Structure 1
Amino acid sequence: MVKRFRIVLMCFFLLLFALPARTSQGKEVILGGQMIGISLKTSGMKVVGYYFIRQHGLLFCPGEKAGIAIGDELLAFDSQPLIMTDDVSRTVKIRGQERKSIHVVVMHENKKKQVLLTPAYDEIAKEYRIGLYLRDATSGVGTLTFIDPITFRYGALGHRILDEDSQGTLNRQGKIRDAFVIAIDRAREGHPGAKQSIVGRKILGEGTIDRNSSFGIYGKLSSRILPPQNRMLAPVADISQIHPGQAQLYTVLHGQVVQPFAVRIERVFAQDHAQGKGMLIRVVDPTLIRESGGILQGMSGSPIVQGGKLVGAVTHVFLNNPLEGYAIYAKWMVSQVQGLQSK
């Protein structure tokens, strides 16, 4: 199972794949709702843990001894940028055999520092090691919100992705793949619930996570992401066109099937600049309540439609009442895409 991203204020990351609706007020874009799997590349190798090696009967961790902390990022070995874990393994083996230390550039608490790391021969594994568990990417699942039908720029999530270990912002490129919902962990008071999903092998977008902002993830997808019959178009609503009342939320509960479910917009908050919490919504659909218990982890980014217009996307759920949550206005998400297109 893939890891889920942690979210500020229970902003559960729920990336959606879009169904057609427009990329600015009045234009149409493809609306989402499909589950996707994403991976974001970190700037180097993230240190996620220590392990000990045995040498001369003693147990110790070379990385910890060198002053490298859990949560640090290893950026370079001997002036060579670290791209994959294979880069680490190769250098450790070579320097270990040469009985030399590695000059490591480390990002520690947002500051770069240099340390000397000496690989040690592990008598049990019978190879040179540095005692650090490393990760080269952060992965998870969610829901896409919309796609521009002409440029195939997309918007998803409706909130920022944070690193689950440090809670720091991830501003990296990444990949987007198809995902399948295989089970539902129902939400209840005090328990947010989640979509249990698996990520497929089909790459829907690679190296196209161009922006990770407070209003979602944005980039460019392949034109083959959705078959023509699944491309529904809807105009993007202006905030002045949105009102309390019935609406539809598009999301996946089974496999890859996107379904509309009834929700009610309880409150509409006046905003004259981009903010995250634009609407208070409540799930009222009996089927969605029965099967999911309300808003789940993995629904972030699920598009909300009112009067045939894309009005917003789910971003937060209330832990004490999973039937209610917040949504961002689609207008603000679309503006993020327009910013990318102008560059």
Structure 2
Amino acid sequence: MKNFLKATVSAFAICIAALLCFLFYISNLLPDRYMIAEGEEFSIRSQLNVTASVENKNSLRQVLTQSGNTYQAQLKLFGSIPLKQVTVQVVDKQMVAACGSPFGIKMFTEGVMVVGLSDLDTEAGPINPAKEAGIRIGDVVMRINGKEVYSNEQVGDILEKSGGKPLKVNLKRKNTPMTVTLVPRRSGVSDEFKAGMWVRDSSAGIGTMTFYDPISGVFGGLGHAVCDVDTGEILPLMKGEAVQVDITGCVKGESGVPGELQGNFYENGKLGNLYLNNETGIYGTLNSKITPPVLIPIAFRQEVKASSATILTTLNGSTPQEYDIMIEKVNFGDTNPTKNMVIRITDPKLLAKTGGIVQGMSGSPILQDGKLIGAVTHVFVNDPTRGFGIFAENMYYSIDNVENAMRMAS
């Protein structure tokens, strides 16, 4: 009998511990803060059967009428098991034009990024001056001997004119300012003073415009940062242009080999200026407003559901078309701001032309229930029919940063 009771108590304790671990896991998946539009009530469209409740619903009605107000809500599992207390902020309903049109990206970096290190053949043997100075791949060189640098040629000219004297180099490593001393060495191959580092000052490519905000005049695209192809680091944007692109073809994606959209930049087709390149996308302003803009509301993360949806993307010319997709999974957490949902292409026409998601489709708007819920960001290399998407709210709230960058540039 004692053994039976002991086994029962142990089993019960294990079940309670497992339940608590499960609740802790679910609680950590959910953010501590949410936003809703004026006049709307807070609810979560979750596969986890999570509901939200508020103690005083009478006072809540007044809170919901004013943007900027906040209140507390209790999240519960299965409508009864408490998970966590969260903050809900009331904001203005944001209306944007969903785009889906391709655009060319021409950007010049703030400083120059170190993308490679290689030894110099000198009289003393193989030497790498940059490495000896403590410079690493991914560092961004901002100034040399107090002079701001913007181009590969400029860096090369400073090194050659140094005559081998020590140079003070100001750089950024993961946005942390650093100063090192670089001593250029004469190359036995070119007979010039060099540092043994390869640097990059610009980038170009094709992406898809996600939305246009008619109030601020700002557009957002890509849904992820423009990164250096060698280092994977976000390229710091000094200045850039969005240019008109004509999509001329597509290389179909296959398992293990990503496809890509092919297109031509218009020679005099400047659409606008680029001001911000961050982890959620690339942002700028257009020279002329989109007219007439068909405006739809931006959905907040808790409104997104694992269900059917559509994307707007362009496979030929510059006119976007709408295609069917399925949202397989929604991740409400903040651990990765660009991989908030798993999507799968289901439209037969899109699959026939592209094989799924291809390079150049990043930024394609995702629509559900008449709202802009996000944008396509990444493709699964081993399954091009599937990929990741970003929440629209993660992109939209970069607009404040764009406006700050515009003021600094003016």
Instruction: Name the TM-score class by shorter chain.
Output: 0.7 to 0.9
Task: Render the CA deviation track for 1:276-313: whole Å, top value 9, x for unaligned.
Answer: 44443321222111010011122221002234322221
1:330 to 363, 368, 392: 392
How far apart, CA to CA, are the structure 2 residues paired with 1:232 and 1:317?
A: 29
Partners of 1:275 and 1:53 in 2: CA distance: 41
Conserved? CA contact 1:187–1:296, under 8 Å: yes
1:74 paired with 2:136, answer: no
Q: Distance in 2 between matches of 1:330 and 1:103?
A: 43
- Structure 2 residue 182 is the aligned partner of structure 1 residue 120: no
The residue aligned with 2:229 is 164
Which residues of structure 1 form unaligned runs of 5+?
1-23
- In the alignment, which residue of structure 1 is the partner of 2:26? none
Equivalent pair of 1:270/1:278 in contact (CA under 8 Å) = yes
Give the C-alpha shift of residue 147 in structure 1: 0.8
User: Alpha carbon RMSD of aligned pairs, Å?
Assistant: 3.6
- 3-state SS of the aligned residue for 1:29? strand
Q: 1:32 to 1:95 in 2, by over 3 A?
A: same
Query: In 1, Cα distance between the equivalents of 2:402 and 2:252?
Result: 37
2:348 is matched with which residue? 286
Aligned residue type for 1:76: R
Partner of 1:224: 288
Secondary structure at the aligned position of 1:175 is classed as strand
Higher-RCO chain (CA-CA 8 Å, sequence separation at least 6): 1
Which of 249, 255, 260 is the matching residue for 1:189?
A: 255
What is the rounded CA distance, in whole Å, between the counterparts of 1:120 and 1:268 in structure 2? 56
Question: 1:151: which partner in 2?
Answer: 216
Q: In structure 1, what is the equivalent of residue 13 of structure 2?
A: none
The residue type paired with residue 113 of structure 2 is K
1:108-161 deviation per Cα after TM superposition (whole angstroms, max 9, x unaligned):
675623223235376x65655444432113443321110101321122222344
TM-score normalised by the chain length of structure 2: 0.63
Equivalences for residues 168-317 of structure 1 within 5 A: 168-178=233-243, 179-201=245-267, 202-209=269-276, 212-213=278-279, 215-218=280-283, 220-224=284-288, 226=290, 228=291, 231-239=293-301, 242-268=304-330, 275-317=337-379
Change over 3 Å in CA distance of 1:334–1:48 after alignment to 2: closer
Q: What is the aligned length?
A: 312
Q: Which has the larger radius of gyration?
A: 2
1:253-276 Cα offsets, whole Å, 9 max, x none, are 123232222223344555699954
8 Å CA contact 1:252–1:259 kept in 2: the answer is yes
Q: Output the amino acid matched with 1:103.
A: K
Distance in 1, Cα, partners of 2:304 & 2:142: 47
Corresponding position: 1:36 with 2:103: yes
The 1:338–1:62 alpha-carbon spacing in structure 2 relative to 1, beyond 3 Å, is closer
Q: Aligned partners of 1:141 and 1:217: how far apart in 2?
A: 12
Tell me, yes or no, if the aligned pair for 1:104 and 1:117 is still in contact at 8 Å.
no
Distance (Å, rounded) in 2 between the aligned partners of 1:73 and 1:237: 37
Residues in 2 aligned to 1:249 and 1:264: alpha-carbon distance in whole angstroms: 10
What are the Cα deviations for residues 2-43 of structure 1, in whole angstroms up to 9, with x where unaligned? xxxxxxxxxxxxxxxxxxxxxx87443121212223345444
Amino acid paired to 2:389: A
Compute the displacement of 1:249 (Å). 1.0
Residue 316 of structure 1 deviates from its aligned partner by: 2.9
Report the alpha carbon displacement of residue 65 of structure 1 after superposing the two structures with TM.
6.2
Normalised TM-score (structure 1): 0.74
Contact kept? 2:218, 2:286, Cα under 8 Å: no
Higher helix share: 2
Match of 2:205 among 135, 140, 149: 140
Amino acid aligned to 2:367: V
**Other structure's SS at 1:91 match:** helix
Q: CA deviation at 1:335?
A: 2.7
Deviations 1:218-269 (A, max 9, x none): 3x3123275x36x443222345654454432111212323222222334455
Shift of 1:337: 2.2
Contact 1:101 1:119 in 2 (8 A): no
Rounded to whole Å, the distance in 2 between the matches of 1:111 and 1:339 is: 21
What residue is the counterpart of 1:6 in the other structure? none
User: Percent identity over the alignment?
Assistant: 31
> Does the CA-based 8 Å contact 1:248-1:305 persist in structure 2?
yes
CA deviation profile, 1:49-77 (whole Å, cap 9, x unmatched): 35676777977665556664444433322
